[in-house]
Amino acid sequence: MDVYLRDQGRPFTIDRVQQIGGQIISGLKYLHERKIIHQDLKPSNILFGGDYETIKLIDLGVSNRLDKTRANTRAADRGTYRYMSPEQLNGSLSFKTDIWAFGCVLL
């Protein structure tokens, strides 16, 4: 997504933001239904398909299963600070962590 944003050179239309945002939310919904928190959602972890229409969430290397999160390393030690929720910075994770990062990505 970083390359796409750089190549665009102009702000997206509201329709394009809704299209992209809807696909990101669908991907997060899929993960959350499986009790997985992405934990590092940011533009460089969002790819476009060759048609620039299909969104793919990548880099689940620091993701956590919600039911095992407490046993893993501290939440604030994993992810990208710029996109971390206040709870994550305090060492706690929930699905809200990804929703916060989603808002940061949209901004």
Mean pLDDT of the chain: 86
Tokens 């939310």, residue? 25
Number of domains in the chain: 1
Residue 71's pLDDT is 41
- Please say if 40 is a catalytic residue: yes
Quick: pLDDT tens for 64-79.
Answer: 887 765 544 556 677 8
The stretch 32-36 carries a mean pLDDT of 95
Q: Where residue 79 sits, what CATH number does that domain have?
A: 1.10.510.10
Q: Catalytic: which of 2, 7, 15, 40? A: 40
Element (H, E) at 46: strand 46-48
Distance CA 58, CA 39 (A): 11
Range(s) of the domain holding residue 32: 2-106
pTM score: 0.84
